[in-house]
A = this chain, B = another copy of it.
Amino acid sequence: MQHHRRHTGSDRELTMRDVARRAGVSASTVSRVVNDDRYVGAATKLRVERAIEELGFQPNRLAQRLRHGRATETVALVIEDVANPFYSAIAEGVDSVARANRHMLILGTTRRTAQEERHVLEELLRRRVDGFLIVPSSQQHLDLYDRIARSASMVFVDRRPPGIEADAVVLDNRGSARRAVEHLIGAGHRRIAYLGGASTVHPGKGRLAGYRRALAGAGLPADDRLVRLGNHDAAAARDAAVELLAADPAPTAVFADNNRMTVGLLNAIRRTGHRVAVAGFDDLELAELLSLPLTLVTYDPTALGRRAAELLFARINGAAGPPRRITVPTTMITHEA
């Protein structure tokens, strides 16, 4: 491997022994001062504190944790990527609760691949983080989830891998999607397309089911040519939407199953000039300023992260009991043009 000593001074890290020497005490005394032990003489304490200050000493948390057992005071959030506002909102919610519980947040991104997810989870296991908040990218890691649950705390966010008993915070995907599509039907639409992202994971499945249920409930036929799944970003969604809009007969409305899909759809509408009614899952920051009517299933995405982190810290702090499941409520908002 590589050696690289930095800047001035020696190779070795600044340690309690160095502080001890400078203050003319033993390392234990330094430790006592650092940990606010009651049994330290006032004068000694002062000398040690001055030495710490002068040297700019910070105790090594790795050594501290290694010594007195578990608890790295770190929780991990495992998501696909942090550029998507949905995930960054979750991260924000988690972060606020983590900081309130004096833990730091480590970010693991899976880039939507099962392989990366396994890699990230194993590394986090090695790092002995106290808790895992996971938005699962795949359903292939039940063995790992099991191992995680055995040595740490774990909460699933937005998606629940089937066959695992664990705390989770989710949305009512099916019901919310169904209501949005029923809204379109109520406005007179009969040919309603579905523009979807990942179809293998849970929320997509639920939303699609809600869409189908709404159609069935109104006695409308399910035309598979109007369903486009597997679009992983806004650009893919836009291209798929352009094709959808060009179908013959064309749909008069489209339901987009997440924020990336809605953005892609809106871009397709702008590009083709082909106007359709739009409903979508997730909020958009400037929704009320757009020049077209829009129905959105909205909710507080930071609450997803916040509630999940609250469940997690309850476990970390020793809560026992069966798995809990929390559903974050959604609303439907209609924006006029």
Contacts and interface: CB of A to CB of B under 8 A. Distances in A.
Given A82-B82, A285-B285, A302-B83, A62 B128 contact: yes
Interface residues of A, number: 71
Interface in A309-324: 315, 317-318, 320-322
Given A108-B104, A109-B99, A123-B104, A2 B82 contact: no
B62 A72 contact: yes
Contacts of A2: 149, 165, 317-318
Contacts of A149: 2, 7
A151 B6 contact: yes
B109 A107 contact: no
Interface in A77-128: 81-83, 85, 88-89, 91-92, 95, 99, 104-109, 122-128
Interface string A132-147: 0000000000000001
B106 A104 contact: yes
B315 A286 contact: no
B82 A85 contact: no
A291 B318 CA distance: 53
Contacts of A81: 92, 95
A91 B82 contact: yes
Contacts of A104: 106-108, 123-124, 127
Identify the 6 closest CB pairs spanning chains A and B, nearest first: A88-B88, A291-B291, A83-B92, A4-B318, A61-B126, A58-B125
30 contacts: A4-B318, A6-B152, A6-B153, A6-B318, A9-B69, A13-B128, A56-B150, A58-B126, A59-B126, A66-B66, A74-B106, A82-B88, A83-B89, A88-B88, A95-B109, A104-B106, A104-B107, A105-B106, A105-B107, A106-B106, A107-B107, A263-B286, A267-B288, A267-B289, A270-B289, A284-B286, A286-B290, A289-B290, A289-B291, A291-B291
